[in-house]
Amino acid sequence: MTAIMFAAITCVSVLAQWLAWSLKVPAILFLLLTGLILGPGLGLLNPDNLLGDLLFPVISLSVAIILFEGALTLHFKELKGIGKVVTNLCSIGILVTFTVVGLAAYWLLDLDWRVAATLGAVLVVTGPTVIAPMLNSMKPVKEVDSILRWEGIVIDPIGALFAVLVFGAVTSANGGDAALNTLFSLLKTLAIGSLIGVFAGWFTTLIIRREWLPYELHKFMVLALVLASLSLSNLLSHESGLLAVTIYGIWLANQDDLDLSAVLAFKEDLSMILISSLFILLAARLDIDSLLLLGPMVFVFLAVVLFIARPLCIAASTFGTQITFKARILLAWIAPRGIVAAAVGSVFSLSLAEAGVADADKIVPLVFTVIIVTVVLQSLTGTPLAKWLGLRKPDPSMVLIIGGNHVARGIALGLKELGFSVLLSDPAWENCHLARMAGLSCYYGNAQSEHAERFVPLADLKTVLALSPNPHFNALGVQHFSHLLGEQVVFSLHSGGNHNKSNKVSSTFRSRQILFGRDVTFAKLSSLLTKAGKVKATKLGESFLWHDYQQTNKSAVPLFVINSKEGLKPFEIGDNYQPIEGDTIIAVHPAPPLTNDKIERLDNSNKGKA
C-alpha cells in the first residue's frame, strides 16, 4: 500500500505541475489544492501514517536541498547592482516584517511567544517560484518588476537564514539562566553551522578544481555533501543543519570560475520533484480544526500581514529613495509567500512539537493560509491594480535570440544598430563572452531553464528567434516560448529534412522552422558572415521599390522587414507579404568583390610585411 501511495503522489504531482503550466499560474496553487483534497478533504493521504518516524527526516532533508538550491543563486557580486531598495528589503524590511507579524501572532492569536517569533521569521520570505509567474502576467514597469524580482531571488536564502537563526534563538531559550543559555546555544549553532557549511564548500571547490572526480559525478557528490552536512551539523548542535547547507550553497555560488553547470541542472530537476511531492504531503497534514479554533482573529491577522506589515516594510525600505508613490503602492501589495515558507515552517513546527512547545501545531495551518491568500488574491488583483496605477509596461519590444554564435551575433548587432532591444542566450560561455565583448547583452545558460525564468525579462519579449546550429536547442526553445508567448512570435531556422525525419520533433517546432526562407540555413548565413558579409538596412522609397531592391541585391539574404503596422517582421517561408514604400529591409549582404585596385593594394601590403 505504501508503494502505491508514493506512486500516486508522483502521478498527481505531475498532473498538478502540468495544469499550472497549461494555465500559466504558479504551480503552488494546484499542489496545495491536491494535498488538501487528498488529505483533509477525502482522507486518502495521511503523511504521518504513511511515513511514521521517517516523516521529520524526509521533510528535513527535502527542506535542506531546497534551501541549498536557493543559496546557489545568491551571488555577492550581483548584490552591488540591485539598488538600495532591494538591499533595504532584504535587511531592514526583514526586521520590520518579522516584528509586525510576530507581535500580531502573539497579541491577536495569543500564541506562545516562541511560536509567534518563529511564525514571524518564516513569513519574511517571498520567493521567485511564485513571484516570477505573477510578474510575467502583470508586466509592471521596469522599476517595480526589477525590485520585486530581485527581492524574491535574494530574500530566499537570506530570509531562510534569518528564520533559521531566529528559530535557533527560540529553541535555545530554555533552562535556568535563560539569557545565558540562549546566547551560548545560539553562538554554538552559528559556529557549528557556519564551520561545517564553509568546510563543505571549500572541500567541494577543491575536488572540482583539482578534478578528483569525473564531471558526471559532481552533482551526486554535492547532493551527498548537502545531506551529510545537514546530518552532521544537527548531530553536533540541534537545528544547526539548515544553517550549514545554506552557507554551503552561498560559498559555492561565490567561487569564481567554478563549473557548477551539472550541479545547477541537477538541482533544478531534483527541486521540482521535491517541491511537488513535499507540498502535497505538507498540505495533506493540515489540521483545519486547529486553525478554526483560533476563530475570527485569523482574518485580523491576515489583514495585518497584508495591509500593515508589507506597507510598513515598503515604507521603511523606500524611505529617502526616488521611488514614486504609485510604485510604492504596487510594491506594498505584491508579496506572495511560497515553498520556502511552507517547508521551513513545517520543519520548525515538527521540531517545536517534539520539544513540547504549546501551539506548535498552529504554525503550519497559519503559514499555508497566508500562502493561499497572498498567492490567490495578489495573482487576481495584481494586473488590474498595475493598470489602474498606470504602472504596466507598454507593448513588449525585445528580441530574444537563442544562440550566441557568430551568426546570431551578426544579426543581433544589425538589429541593435537600428535601435532594437536584443538579448542573446547561449549555454556556451565562449559565445556569451564574445557577445558581451561586442556590446551585446547575453544570458549565459539555456533560455528555457528555471534559472532563466528568474533572470530573463520574459515580460519584455516580443519576438524569439532560434538561431543555434544545434536543432535540439532550437526545438526546446521553440516549444518553451511558443507556450509562454504564443507560436506566432516564435521562429526558428530551417533544420533540414534529414533532421526532421530522423528525430521525432514536435509539430510546434516543425511548423515554426520558417525563418528567412526554405533555402536559408545556418550554414548559408555562416558562410556569408564569415566571408566579411554584413547585416545592412535599406529603406524602400518611391523610386526604389521591392522589385528594384531584389534586382539590385540578388545575392543578399533578406532577414526582416520593418513596417508601420507590425514593426519588426521576419521574412517567413510561404509569406505573401510584399514590402511597400516606407518599409525598411534588413538583409545579410555578401562582401563586395575585390577590385583590381584593392587587389593591388593588398598585394603591396603583403609584400611590405614580408
pLDDT in tens, 18-28: 887 777 777 77
pLDDT at 346 over 60: yes
User: What stretch of H or E contains 426?
Assistant: strand 422-426
Q: Cα–Cα distance between 461 and 86 in angstroms, integer?
A: 24
Q: Cα–Cα distance between 73 and 469 in angstroms, integer?
A: 29
pLDDT tens digit string along 230-239? 889 888 876 6
pLDDT at residue number 595: 55
pLDDT at residue number 605: 55
Q: Which of 561, 403, 584 is nearest to 492 (CA)?
A: 403
pLDDT at 467 over 50: yes
Contacts 24+ apart (CB under 8 A), 10-16: 10/277, 12/38, 12/280, 13/273, 13/276, 13/277, 13/280, 14/276, 16/276, 16/280
Between 57 and 230, the higher pLDDT residue: 230
Q: Which of 411, 426, 442 is nearest to 526 (CA)?
A: 411
pLDDT at residue number 173: 65
pLDDT at 174 over 70: no
Q: Which of 444, 498, 497, 495 is nearest to 472 (CA)?
A: 495
Altogether, the residues listed in the chain come to a count of 610
Question: Who contacts 388 (Cβ-Cβ below 8 Å, separation ≥6)?
Answer: none
pLDDT at residue number 512: 78
pLDDT at 553 over 60: yes
Q: Cα–Cα distance between 68 and 113 in angstroms, integer?
A: 29
pLDDT at residue number 502: 47
- Side by side, the strands of the sheet bearing 441-444 are 441-444, 422-426, 398-402, 461-466, 490-492
Question: Who contacts 293 (Cβ-Cβ below 8 Å, separation ≥6)?
Answer: none
Instruction: Give the pLDDT band of residue 176 (cuts 50, 70, 90).
Output: very low
**Mean pLDDT score, 155-172:** 78
Instruction: Give the pLDDT band of residue 515 (cuts 50, 70, 90).
Output: confident
Which range, of 73-87, 118-132, 518-532, 558-572, averages the lowest pLDDT? 73-87
Task: Please report, to the nearest 10 degrees, the dihedral formed by the alpha carbons of residues 169, 171, 174, 178 taken in order.
Answer: 0
Mean pLDDT across the chain: 82
For CA atoms 440, 446, 452, 457, give the dihedral sign.
positive
pLDDT at residue number 385: 93
pLDDT at residue number 518: 72
Tell whether pTM > 0.75: no
- Give the cell for residue 536: 545592412
Instruction: Give the pLDDT band of residue 602 (cuts 50, 70, 90).
Output: very low
Between 387 and 150, the higher pLDDT residue: 387
Which range, of 533-547, 562-576, 577-591, averages the lowest pLDDT? 562-576
- Side by side, the strands of the sheet bearing 534-539 are 534-539, 584-589, 557-563, 567-570
pLDDT at 293 over 80: no
pLDDT at residue number 99: 95
Beta-strand pair 557-563/534-539: unpaired
Distances (CA, A) of 591 to 361, 411, 527, 602: 74, 15, 11, 16
Between 437 and 176, the higher pLDDT residue: 437
The architecture in CATH of the region 398-589 reads: 3-Layer(aba) Sandwich (3.40)
Mark out the alpha helices in 24-91 (DSSP H runs). Answer: 27-36, 47-51, 55-71, 76-79, 83-89
**Mean pLDDT score, 19-46:** 81
Domain boundaries along the sequence of the chain: 2-388, 398-589
Q: Where are the beta strands (DSSP E) in 493-600?
A: 534-539, 557-563, 567-570, 584-589
Distances (CA, A) of 447 to 429, 454, 465, 488, 545: 14, 11, 12, 18, 38
Nearest 5°: CA angle at 56, between 41 and 188? 140
The architecture in CATH of the region 2-388 reads: Up-down Bundle (1.20)
Q: Cα–Cα distance between 450 and 196 in angstroms, integer?
A: 29
Q: Which of 492, 427, 429, 481 is nearest to 459 (CA)?
A: 481
Q: Hey, is 372 helix, strand or coil?
A: helix
- Which residues does residue 424 pair with via DSSP β-bridges, in sequence order? 401, 442
